[in-house]
Amino acid sequence: MFGLNFFSQQPQWTVSSIPDLSGRVAIVTGGNTGLGYITVRELARKGARVYMLSRTDTRAFAAMDKIKGELGPELNPQVEYINFDLLSLNSAKKAADTFLQKEKRLDILVNNAGIMATPYELGPDGIEIQASNGTGHFALTMSLLPLLKTIAAMPDSHVRIVNVSSFGYFFAYAASKPDFSSLEGLNQKTWSTWVRYGRSKLMNILFTNELQKRLTESGTNNIYCLSVHPGGVSTELTRGPLQSWPFLAPLEQIARMFLATPEQGALTQLYAAGSLEVEEKDLKAALLSPVAQVATKASLAEDKDGKMGSDFWNLCEALMREKVRD
């Protein structure tokens, strides 16, 4: 993920601080590799039943087998797979429906999947593929929200919605102010693929803000929505920049030497997903940076008047009505 490497010092928070999650159910998108893989593994280590949502069946099953091998039969990790294509709103709804047929509770949703700095391309719904970092997770989350609310109303609930963003949202400042009020605005071509990436990561934060606000206004106070910047991490996200600039391939291995490992990078989203401090510190709609620290939002991400967040929400709802088939 984009950002400086914040991991030069030993982190103060570790996954050992996550309480026992036995009986809890979690979803992690993009869980077959990188940050998502570590998040699935560590939530399962703590006893949660974890659903790995990803696009490629073979890679998901291989990742699940690896997790079970790493944790061993004594822990008997509960990891299952549901197909999910971030680029398709219909796939998001279908994945949610499949999950709801299998489970009667959901405690943790980690919207981790994403693509970065890819060449301009429209996906199957006519949405610019990097913008799907925002729209795909909106569709999945809203399809699961009724169940999340039900669980939040139960005693001893600790419901979390974690949206993995990036300080890469600052790239959105390198062009005119984003317009999320229409599909044309969402799909706007920019002078750099990094600007589109920045806008997609801004969407993740705006969605977090708006969702938390609407939950509070509706009287749902026991769901904690957070955005996370993982830091500079060595993951498969580099595929996007290499598609845009193939000549950078010889430098990739050198760059990885200065990035954090996925184990380090996943710490902050694991904190957001499982630490009881989130509730103790009332971190609703917070933006977290490594490791488990509250970051100050820049003006675009703060969205004081709520217009961009509301525009993005309304557009996503309209796109779902148009694109999602029953």
Do the strands 293-295 and 287-289 form a parallel or antiparallel pair, or are they unpaired? antiparallel
DSSP state of 295: E
Catalytic residue among 169, 197, 224, 271: 197
Which secondary structure element, helix H or strand E, spans residue 243, and what is its range?
helix 239-244
DSSP codes joined into one string, 142-180: HHHHHHHHHHHTSTT--EEEEEE--GGGGGGGGSSPP--
Catalytic residue among 94, 201, 284, 323: 201
79 with 52: CB under 8 angstroms?
yes
DSSP SS3 for 128: strand
| Separation between Cα atoms, residue 212 and residue 35, nearest integer Å | 24
122 with 128: CB under 8 angstroms?
yes
Q: Which residues contact 217 (CB under 8 A, 6 or more apart)?
A: none
The burial class, CB within 10 Å (0-12 / 13-18 / 19+), for 80 is: middle
Query: Is 197 an active-site residue?
Result: yes
Catalytic residue annotation = 197, 201
